[in-house]
Chain A
Amino acid sequence: MTARLAAAETAPGEPLLNIAVFTAFLLLALVLVLRARRRSTSSASDYYTAGGGFTGPENGLALSGDFLSAATFLGIVGAVAVAGPDGYIYAVVAFVAWLVALFFVAELLRNTGRYTMADVLGHRLRQRPVRAAAATSAVVISTLYLLGQLAGAGGLIALLLNITDRAGQSAVIAAVGAVVIGYVLLGGMSGATSIQIVKACLLLATGLAMAAFVLGKSGLSLPTLLTEAVQNHPRGEAVLQPGLLYGGSLTANLDLVSLALGGVLGVAGLPHILMRFYTVPDARQARKSVVWAIWLIGAFFLLVLVLGYGATALVGPEAILSAPGGVNSAAPLLALQIGGPVLLALVSAVAFATILAVVAGLMITAAAAFAHDVYARLIRNGRATAEEEVRVARRTTVVIGVVGIAGGILANGQNIAFLAALTFAMAASANLPTLLYSLFWKRFTTSGAVWSIYGGLSVTLLLITFSPAVSGTPESMLPGLDFAVFPLSNPGLVSVPVGFLLGYLGTVFSSEKPDAARYAQMVVRALTGAGVQRGVPGDPSVPPPAGRHRPSLPVTGQNRRPDPQPAGSPAGPASGSRGPASGRPGDTAGWPGNNGTAGSPGNSNTAGWPGNSNTAGTWPPGRGESLPSGRNRPGGHDPRR
């Protein structure tokens, strides 16, 4: 009882202990990042995707670490504690969404791309427009997501470290952001993945321990726990029934459907989730990693249900809502109640670790989209070297990080809960339609992709701007103003169909002729993984060694060799070995069309490869730019030299 009263006035627990545990985590993370650094982080492939060298289970842990943000952990526990089943809907939506990733995205993406979504689209469509569009989408979505994460950190800091003044909170936000930037620069994707793996383990272990405690207290009986929750909730049995958060009017009901639609299709289009599928060597491992993620995230969300009702029963909704941090304080207060300050410190550290891990993944994603798609392909026209590209990726990491920190400090204390809905809806309306069309629709064209991406992004943004999430209600970001013309806070119900429709219309109204051969290539690659680890002899899609156009002369003898190893390419996949056994199969693995086609000396894939439209300059001859790794550049193989 004293804990409850104290909680109402100041942050619970002992901030120093919280800081100590969190510092221990930071040091552990630093060790991991430095270990990751020993493996190279100099090449683009290492920096973006850890060379594709993680196994499925590792990536599954990292996926759940990347996905379970502070909002999902603290937010859903609190929402269940206060609002019951309605608070849990977000978890159901976010979980079922992984089936979309499993069925339509993970394997197909791994088989057809290298670092970014643009790689996939570039297979069939014209490089420059789709790269620009896909990169814009990735940078916008990741940056908004990043902003939400860092702005939410302010409330957490007040809650966990008992820092209530704005300057102090801003300093901590800046410090957390700076630490992540440093870690990402040091360790690249490999370091970020390690942090995500450790964080996922910590989160699951903490959740499991707390749920065991909670259930133990009610005699290992879920019904008993629910009865206790009913007794301790001011609305009584309503905490076990729908209706406390959503519904009531037609608009409210549609808003719920809208949230569900944006969420269930959004997860599989989030750029930082997409990028994780490139950190494994092949599609089988990508599938395995989603399956692991589904088990881990599902198990965690089931624990969250127990924790939520545990918080209702043991802490009580009034105490939760009056504590600093409001709903988010449910899990920390529950930890304090059942495990004292030590458990609270652990939960706090896990919450911070969560921000750290998610932010790291977002920074790399945005940096890869800019450096790989915009800088290397659009600005430098494919003439940037691997070193230049990584240098730009690092700088972009810093810029995005600083923008995120500044935005997070500015947005601290603002009600920006709508950012989550916005980013999910954007991913569902811009990225998913394009991915699905390009994998399943023969006629799909460049204009379709461009319309769908830009249109999906803008419509979503427009709808949320004129929604009650931004103005018009006391819960809005700008409660004093009212320009909410669109009645739903979640844009998905309109923006997702619009995204699909624009992709259709853009295709139908363009004069572009769909290229059946290239679609055939994409589908075969996507379903079989041909060309991912070994080249395909006679593959006409591999650009010619020189010249700006498609080869008019066929294949050199080299092209017919089944699995040639370019000289001086130690990292070449050992005679096509696949799967986890091959460990880190070198940079070439996961690099469609690279290795086996010595006739088109590695450099060729570089620029024009996926999709190689014959726009002049897309295949800059003779340079080893954006090769997966500098050491792989088979310079001596260039027949023109």
Chain B
Amino acid sequence: MALIRALMLLSHEGPISQIKYNRDGDLLFSVSKTPPAMVWRTDTGMRLGTYEFGEKSAISCLDINKDTTRLVTGSAGNMIRLWDCETGACLQTVTTQTSVRTCEFSSDGQIIFYTTDAQRKISPELAILTLKQFEGGAFDYIAQTHITDSKVTAATWGPFDQHIITGHENGSLRFYQADNSAKRVQVLRNEQIHKDTVTDLKMTSDKLFCLSASKDFTAKLSTSDRLENIKTFNTDRPVNAAAISSLRNHVIIGGGQEAMWVTQTHSHTGKFEAKIFHVIYEQEIGRVKGHFGPINSLAFQPDGRGFSSGGEDGVIRMHQFPEIYYDFEFDRFKFDR
């Protein structure tokens, strides 16, 4: 056992919606349901800057390009914003029909996709934009399609950016691929992996597997070429966030009761800890306490030596693993006996 201390980043006024490390792991970006978006230094926990929004709409997603020069955010104010990471200046905006749910840069940082929610009679949308024109002023839609059956709740680029892997409200995972000539996206594969809404979707660092978290109390690891479910991590709570270590065979899973029930229960029973699971044995091996509300977003440090969690309580907690984390060996002979 070891005692560790987390760094608590306290500036956000609303519940944290997403946190992400940049590729080198020296900066942590965070967005919450109340603007602005923020960036933090991960070594000291110092707040480096804020990205100021004009309006007061909830920010739901963010992404950073690989060389940490551009930040993209999507908000409930029907707006995609592109930022300069260093100065905090807003370079460009794209207005969408409805509130934005997910957005992400491609590996080269030249293309982004975004998905939107359903609102009134407008069905959810999946669109891919090229960024070169985007920055110049006029942007170019590579593809734009309305998804009529089930809205996208989580999405990420697949291997080699060939397609987009999406998680849906009905629990399915899908491949969408752009059809350049028709300027549309089409479904390549549709697998019913979960029983309830998919809340988070992460790729391993080699992009061979994707980890999906769901409100059906599980997180599942699937292959990213055929969407075959290979591992299941069972918990006793709705899972809101998951992350995969690049260093060891561990995944970390966070969640808890829905925010609407939190006031009625004690923080002990709310099950707000982050759980560490062994990927291969699908067994829980550790818990990290701290949040007073459900965890909404989790991110492993790119080097796998720590992780951060952002909660409904508006706090981001940055953890560094103690020495015992690296010494731990799963008792593999237990099953042989």
A complexed with B: no
B contacts, CB < 8 Å to A: none
A contacts, CB < 8 Å to B: none
